[in-house]
Amino acid sequence: MERIAGWSIRHRALAIGGWLGLVVVALLASAVLSGSSASTDDPGESGAVKRVLREQKNYEPILENVLIQPREDGGGKFMDDPALVKATEDLVAEFDKLPGAVADLRTPLKPGSEQQISKDGRSGLVTFFVAGPNDKMTAHFDSVVAAVDKVADQNKDVRVVQAGDVSLSRAVDDAVKKDFASAERTSLPITLVILLVVFGALVAAAIPLLLAATTVVATFSLIAVVERWVAVNSAVTSMILLIGIAVSVDYSLFYLRREREERAAGRSVAESLHIASRTSGHVVIVSGVTVILCLSGLLLSGLDVFRGLTLGTALVVGLAMIASVTVLPALLAALGHRVDKGRVPWLGKRRTTVAESRGWQKLARAVVNRPKVWGGAAVLALLVMAAPALDMRLQDAAVVNSLPRSAPTVDAAIRMQEAFPGSPTPAKVAVWGVDGGSSDTPEVKAAVDRLHQQIADSDGRLAGPISTVRVDDVLMVRVPLAGSGTDEVSNEALATLRDVALPATLGKVEGIDYAVAGRTAFAEDFKDQLTSRAALVVGFVLVLAFALLLIVFRSLAIPLVSIALNLLSMGAAYGVLTWVFQDGAFSSVLGFTPYGGVAGWLPLFMFVVLFGLSMDYHIFILSRIRERRLAGATTREAVVGGIAASAGVVTSAAVIMTAVFTVFITLSAIENKMMGVGMAVAILIDATIVRGVLLPAAVAMLGERAWTLPGRLNRLNRLPGTSEPSRPAPVAAATGARTD
């Protein structure tokens, strides 16, 4: 690290210009090389349906629904209400003006369409497919939406609303775009304000923000290029943005604060940078590599959706790490003491000098004097916080649960779900020929007809109306399921369809194969895949973290303690997550409606990301403690000194990272709110209870055993060519001077 920093300091123009050149090249590459994005393969039967449809020449037609019902409660039957009948006739007339845009139109007005009228008789459902060909499907859909809006405007006293395949997908996409824009507008100003408070100078505060902004720009540009080969879900863009800002600022903060600390001790800019590179620079590299390697554990899940997430997050962390140990030293060398320019009134004079924290020093001293009492109380508190997680139910949110009801399409889907269960997001059964067979035979048609009897015998789990459409060689059958789409009722309905209804009908036809997809099926298949691989991912991350910490600190106890503390803080974060979102605490304050579960992908994702990010604090604090211990202090004094010296950096970094993750809570999707609360709580616990109480208590109880390896392995802690344990000279270790 010192050699890298030395090169950057000597060639500062080249280092800074090279970084800016990388950003520009990434931007140009994204404009020139970007093309159609790669598609993901879903797990289980959902993936099988996706693959067979991908092999067809034409796209699957879009199924849309229009709900027509009175705006006020009460009233008579649908067919007896002139306003409802008129609205339906107006809609059919508008569709007739769109030749070739609508196919398989079903309305409550047609004879034999009893299934198009709700059980209470008050609501009607118009279902139809938006027709192709492929190049006209989007235009046809836009025409249909315009027609529905026109009819709604002409019939103000009747509710005419649309929800279906594309309308719901567009609602999600629009929410993601708005969330991304909101995150951009909010995160950077918040970070700048916190940095101004931390550094007390405009120039010093601007440097981490500048590196964060260029890192994020370069990351998104590179992602636009690699999307041709690796699919990156649009929903992860907000995650990559906020994680990128958090780690970029954290890494810059570690480096910049140490450089300031050394300058405050009377050293020159060059000497300060060399010391910062050897200490904080080393911590940044170890932390960054740990985060990236922990994230790679998600690849073991076997889920394509995690590939893009892993790639994007690893890119932004890797670039942040590179910038902080190459460009940052060059910038600081070029600015010199001018980094403290633009002091903020009332803050500048106090913040531009670095001092140990007396408050954290007093707490650390109290903890090391009575480590069992303080440590036991902290462990008990975290176990109490973690208790609700024992009842955590993994359940992905349906669109109607994920987004707020203020979105018109979501409100339409909820009302449609209440009147016609399962119609907004039905199960999609794909039927195709195998071994020379065909899905277009009388036997297949008869089997589909027999599905109606299976629906009648399903005790309400399966519903109507069934819609069928052909996509080249594949027959697509839409079967509405009871429930909200991802709850237990929907899962039971899916099991009935897969295990009972289809084997009794299509399962008896030779020469064909079938599989079930749809939102309910995808959520269930995803959860099954994730559950089956979770132990492998967790084991990989734990073993990897242990090995990295063992190598860095040459201690057996430190890795074990760090892992145990991480698991405790993560368990507490899971408990808060369950209490808030599954049980509904603070739902009105945070602006969401609980649906009785926690997003199935979130706990494992949080585990992997937080395990890497929380190592920042552990490695930084333990490095400062180890410095003092190697300088000749006792373990307890080293703990007190290390905690006090690192308090400013860790507190500032934790405040910034918590503020950035809190931005997630302001976003519209409930999954983002969950992630924001979970990540922010975990970071706060890490930076307070773990850093201030549990870590010093554990190291104090271990004493000298914290810095040793068992048996012959302890030879790794000895100086080369001697039989004595390594004990650098006190002055050298304390000041960072060379001991060659």
Query: What are 649-670's pLDDT values in tens digits?
Result: 788 888 888 888 888 888 888 9
Give the type of residue at 141.
F
* Domain architecture of the chain: domains with CATH: 1-33+200-355 (1.20.1640.10), 53-167 (3.30.70.360), 356-406+522-735 (1.20.1640.10), 426-517 (3.30.70.1430)
Distance separating alpha carbons of residues 127 and 81, to the nearest angstrom: 20
Once rounded to an integer, what is the mean pLDDT over residues 415-422?
Answer: 87
Give the type of residue at 327.
V
Ordered DSSP codes for 89-143: HHHHHHHHTSTTTEEEEE-TTSTT-GGGB-TTSS-EEEEEEEP--GGGHHHHHHH
Dump pLDDT digits (tens) for 250-276: 888 888 888 888 888 888 888 888 888
End-to-end CA distance of the chain: 16
Using pLDDT thresholds of 50, 70 and 90, give the confidence band for residue 350: very low
pLDDT at 714: 62
Helices 557-577 and 519-553, interaxial angle, to 10°? 150
Running DSSP on this structure, what letter comes out for residue 265?
A: T
Dump pLDDT digits (tens) for 161-201: 999 888 988 888 888 788 777 877 888 788 888 888 877 78
Kindly give the residue spans of alpha helices, DSSP state H, lying in 200-268: 202-226, 237-264
Helices 602-630 and 237-264, interaxial angle, to 10°? 10
Q: Hey, what are 513's tokens?
A: 């194969």
Nearest alpha-carbon partner for 63 in 147, 209, 165: 165
Distance separating alpha carbons of residues 207 and 354, to the nearest angstrom: 18
Running DSSP on this structure, what letter comes out for residue 340?
A: G
| Percent of the chain surpassing pLDDT 70 | 93
Q: What is the pTM of this model?
A: 0.82
Running DSSP on this structure, what letter comes out for residue 176?
A: H
User: What φ, ψ does residue 481 adopt, rounded to 5°?
Assistant: -115, 145
Using pLDDT thresholds of 50, 70 and 90, give the confidence band for residue 609: confident
- Residues with Cβ < 8 Å from 664, sequence gap 6 or more? 183, 238, 242, 672, 673, 675, 676, 677, 679, 680
Whole-Å CA distances, 344 to 200, 335, 341, 353, 649: 5, 18, 9, 13, 19
Give the type of residue at 625.
I
User: What φ, ψ does residue 703 adopt, rounded to 5°?
Assistant: 65, -135
- State yes or no: pLDDT of 736 exceeds 50: no
- State yes or no: pLDDT of 95 exceeds 90: yes
Of 119-133, 187-201, 336-350, 526-540, the poorest mean pLDDT is in 336-350
* Beta carbons within 10 angstroms of residue 672's beta carbon: 24
Dump pLDDT digits (tens) for 709-732: 776 666 655 433 333 444 433 333
Dump pLDDT digits (tens) for 543-599: 988 888 888 888 888 889 989 999 999 999 999 999 999 999 988 888 888 888 898
Nearest alpha-carbon partner for 123 in 196, 181, 68, 53: 68
Using pLDDT thresholds of 50, 70 and 90, give the confidence band for residue 379: very high
Mean pLDDT of the chain: 85
pLDDT at 731: 33
pLDDT at 444: 92
Distance separating alpha carbons of residues 152 and 142, to the nearest angstrom: 15
Distance separating alpha carbons of residues 418 and 8, to the nearest angstrom: 64
Dump pLDDT digits (tens) for 434-489: 988 899 999 999 999 998 888 888 888 888 778 888 999 999 999 988 887 878 88
Distance separating alpha carbons of residues 51 and 61, to the nearest angstrom: 16
User: Using a CB cutoff of 8 Å and minimum separation of 24, what contacts does 282-286 make?
Assistant: 282/1, 282/623, 283/254, 283/616, 283/619, 283/620, 283/623, 284/251, 284/254, 284/255, 284/321, 284/324, 284/325, 285/1, 285/321, 285/325, 286/548, 286/552, 286/615, 286/619
Distance separating alpha carbons of residues 235 and 415, to the nearest angstrom: 26
427-433 vs 474-479, strand pairing mode: antiparallel
pLDDT at 697: 94
Using pLDDT thresholds of 50, 70 and 90, give the confidence band for residue 309: confident
